């Protein structure tokens, strides 16, 4: 008996992915926000000089929005290279992510794909599917609360089954 995260992590481990779990994308996103801080502030506020507190709040919101959109792109198996699909995804899932941030998501995910800095919780679900890794096959895979699975979890579960997925 495994959770989908544990099952995905097991596949990652058996395919050579090792490392610390959690927090992988946060430093990447913070670095992007820091690098583009003035461009983002100019585009998203009417102020030219923010106070220290305003700047800190702005950075926090930017990091949160980008992280939420990047994680949903992975979990929904959205084509993160398509600006229009990312926009549709944000509308569908009501993610408050400014359009200016969307081009950054592709870079974040691609850096995460190449990064040896660990495994994020989203990686456990989408990387085995995205990288078409080898899965152990089972005659039966039983799942509870299937209505709550996201696209990455469903794709992961399908890969474990010898005979596909049935209702």
pLDDT digit string, tens, across residues 65-91: 899 999 999 999 999 999 999 999 999
CA distance 81 to 43: 22
> Hey, what are 167's tokens?
């209702």
DSSP states of 102-140 = HHHHHHHHHHHHH--S-B-HHHHHHHHHHTT-----BS-
Nearest to 131 by CA among 161, 159, 91, 106: 159
Average pLDDT taken over every residue of the chain: 85
Q: What percent of the chain has pLDDT over 70?
A: 92
pLDDT digit string, tens, across residues 94-125: 998 888 888 889 888 888 887 666 788 888 99
The single-letter DSSP state of residue 21 is B
Alpha carbon of 57 to those of 46, 54, 62, 149: distances in Å?
15, 5, 9, 33
- Residue 44's contacts (CB-CB under 8 Å, 6 or more residues apart) are 58, 98, 100
> Hey, what are 142's tokens?
């039983």
> Hey, what are 116's tokens?
């040896």
The SS3 assignment for 142 reads coil
> Hey, what are 151's tokens?
């696209």
> Average pLDDT of 30-39?
87
Q: Residue 158 is inside which H or E element, if any?
A: helix 151-160
CA distance 66 to 99: 10
Q: What percent of the chain has pLDDT over 90?
A: 28
């Amino acid at each position: 008996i495994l959770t989908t995260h544990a099952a995905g992590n097991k596949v990652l481990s058996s395919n050579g992915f090792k490392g610390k779990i959690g927090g992988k994308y946060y430093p990447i996103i913070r670095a992007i926000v820091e690098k583009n801080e003035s461009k983002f502030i100019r585009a998203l506020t009417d102020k030219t000089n923010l106070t220290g507190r305003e700047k800190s709040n702005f950075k926090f919101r930017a990091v949160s929005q980008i992280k939420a959109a990047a994680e949903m792109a992975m979990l929904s198996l959205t084509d993160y290279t398509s600006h229009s699909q990312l926009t549709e995804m944000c509308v569908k899932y009501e993610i408050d992510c400014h359009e200016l941030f969307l081009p950054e998501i592709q870079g974040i995910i691609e850096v995460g794909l190449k990064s040896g800095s660990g495994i994020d919780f989203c990686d456990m679900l989408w990387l085995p599917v995205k990288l078409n890794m080898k899965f152990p096959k089972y005659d039966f895979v039983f799942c509870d609360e299937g209505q709550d699975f996201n696209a990455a979890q469903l794709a992961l579960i399908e890969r474990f089954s010898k005979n596909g997925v049935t209702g």
